[in-house]
């Protein structure tokens, strides 16, 4: 029986076939959901690693890897895995393997942040090979735990990682994903997804205008938008900011607030980024003289990933803003001993508080205290604004704004959407042409 496209929880699906070619945002070598922090990595990992919970288009939550929805008694939740799930033929999925994956990601900043939803001192446990029991830090935290990308069930065998997503990496080409026959939710409509790296934004736009790729992060074309497109935009995004190196003379909260003041023009109607509303309690210092004094006569070096079009655009504007404030700045590549590093951190949960906490967790792992982000996530909702403001005020990282992804698509691509974490969802996408 053929089921209609987009039926939630369907196991049998119409095989549409076809290939979607997406432009890369940047270069991402990390494929482990526990260690991925960038938007580029989040998009790629979402193709091959399914979380226990999944957001529907209406922002509701399903549990495709469970036999039935979890049972919850106050803060205690019991989850029963579906039977017969496999990472690969002969490699079954059980509750002990899920817990082993969770223990492994405690070494990663965003893994620790996601696991801060588990009540302190209450280790998740396997009641039997198919049943997990978790005591949560607060009521209502179960959906966030199930949706957190670092906690996606993952098998590690040697250097090979296996997930339960709609696609798996083509062993012959690591920028291509093919339909995963072991996907518990029934796999994808698409035959494959390819990621195409371009050197410049102009090159990426030309590729879209000439149908070399099927989507563009930068708009419809170079030539006035005469080509028909469908645009999908997220309501969630990644926090973009500057993280000082450990021991950097700029690694203090006062300097971070001054940098935010200089960079304020990056947000707003004409800015490249959106302003964050949650947590920014204290006013920025009214002068940048202290920052100029700390930088001295040196050129302020700002490191950023190479060939990342989005961060390049932010970085170029940031250099101009520093210049207007009387400081010379330049963009450099990674690992060049720069005083500041420009980063975009994808959220591991829904809402602005998760976006901020995710950025602060990555920054704090490099320059300071990690208890603040976990407190933000564990708090009841009425307290989160105050806690976010407190964490923000003592952070040595400068928050520049929120990058909200928007993707222009060839109109023949149907069913692509962003989920509530800002990740592109393609497993229900259909493409109206044969592979080629």
pLDDT in tens, 222-280: 655 567 788 999 999 999 999 998 888 899 999 999 999 999 999 988 889 999 988 76
Q: List, for residues 52-107, the tens digit of each pLDDT value.
A: 999 988 889 999 999 999 999 999 999 999 998 988 777 889 999 999 999 999 99
pTM, to two decimals: 0.92
> Which of these, 107, 79, 105, lies nearest to 93 by C-alpha position?
79
pLDDT at 67: 95
Say if residue 428's pLDDT is above 80: no
> Which of these, 419, 109, 402, lies nearest to 278 by C-alpha position?
402
Beta-ladder partners of 398? 242
**CB atoms < 10 A from the CB of 17, how many?**
16
Collapse the DSSP code of 352 into the 3-class scheme (helix H, G, I; strand E, B; otherwise coil) and give the result.
Answer: helix
pLDDT at 29: 65
What is the overall mean pLDDT for the chain?
87
Say if residue 330's pLDDT is above 50: yes
Q: Average pLDDT for residues 22-32, to the nearest whole number? A: 79
Of 63-67, 112-116, 130-134, 173-177, which range is least confident? 173-177
Q: Average pLDDT for residues 273-300, to the nearest whole number? A: 81
Collapse the DSSP code of 137 into the 3-class scheme (helix H, G, I; strand E, B; otherwise coil) and give the result.
Answer: coil
Which residue shows structure tokens 């396997």? Answer: 126
Q: Which domains does the chain have, with CATH numbers?
A: 13-49+165-236+405-436 (3.40.190.10), 52-158 (3.90.76.10), 238-403 (3.10.105.10)
pLDDT at 12: 43
Q: What percent of the chain is modeled with pLDDT above 90?
A: 54
DSSP-assigned letters across all residues of 237-276: -EEEEEEEPTT-TT-SHHHHHHHHHHGGGGBSTTSSBBPP
Q: Which residue has better confidence, 259 or 414?
A: 259
Q: Average pLDDT for residues 353-364, to the nearest whole number? A: 96
Say if residue 9's pLDDT is above 50: no
């Amino acid at each position: 029986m053929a089921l209609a496209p987009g039926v939630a929880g369907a196991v049998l699906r119409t095989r549409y076939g076809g290939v979607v070619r997406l432009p890369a945002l940047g270069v991402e070598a990390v494929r482990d959901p526990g260690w991925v922090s960038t938007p580029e990595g989040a998009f790629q990992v979402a193709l091959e690693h399914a979380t226990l919970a999944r957001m529907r288009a209406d922002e509701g939550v399903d549990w495709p890897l469970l036999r039935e929805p979890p049972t919850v008694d106050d803060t205690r939740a019991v989850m029963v895995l579906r039977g017969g799930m496999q990472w690969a033929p002969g490699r079954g999925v059980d509750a002990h393997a899920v817990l082993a994956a969770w223990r492994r990601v405690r070494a990663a900043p965003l893994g620790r942040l996601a696991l801060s939803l588990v009540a302190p001192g209450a280790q998740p446990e396997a009641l039997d090979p198919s049943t997990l029991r978790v005591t949560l830090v607060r009521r209502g935290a179960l959906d966030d735990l199930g949706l957190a990308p670092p906690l996606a069930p993952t098998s590690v065998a040697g250097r090979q990682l296996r997930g339960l997503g709609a696609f798996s990496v083509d062993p012959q080409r690591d920028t291509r994903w093919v339909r995963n026959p072991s996907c518990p939710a029934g796999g994808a409509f698409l035959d494959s997804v390819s990621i195409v790296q371009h050197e410049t934004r102009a090159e990426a736009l030309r590729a879209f205008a000439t149908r070399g790729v099927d989507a563009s992060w930068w708009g419809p074309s170079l030539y006035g938008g005469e080509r028909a497109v469908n645009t999908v935009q997220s309501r969630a995004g990644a926090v973009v900011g500057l993280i000082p190196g450990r021991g950097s003379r700029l690694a203090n909260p006062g300097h971070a607030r001054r940098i935010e003041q200089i960079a304020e023009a990056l947000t707003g109607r004409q800015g490249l980024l959106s302003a964050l509303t949650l947590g920014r309690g204290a006013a920025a210092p009214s002068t940048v003289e202290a920052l100029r004094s700390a930088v001295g006569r040196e050129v302020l070096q700002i490191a950023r990933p190479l060939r990342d079009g989005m961060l390049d655009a932010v970085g170029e504007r940031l250099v101009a803003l520093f210049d207007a404030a009387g400081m010379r700045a330049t963009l450099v590549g990674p690992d060049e001993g720069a005083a500041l590093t420009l980063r975009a951190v994808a959220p591991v949960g829904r809402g602005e508080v998760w976006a901020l906490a995710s950025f602060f967790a990555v920054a704090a792992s490099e320059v300071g205290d990690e208890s603040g982000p976990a407190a933000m996530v564990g708090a009841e909702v009425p307290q989160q604004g105050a806690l976010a403001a407190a964490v923000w005020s003592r952070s040595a990282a400068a928050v520049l704004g929120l990058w909200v992804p928007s993707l222009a698509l060839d109109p023949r691509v149907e069913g692509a959407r962003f989920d509530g974490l800002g990740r592109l969802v393609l497993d229900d996408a259909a493409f109206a042409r044969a592979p080629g």
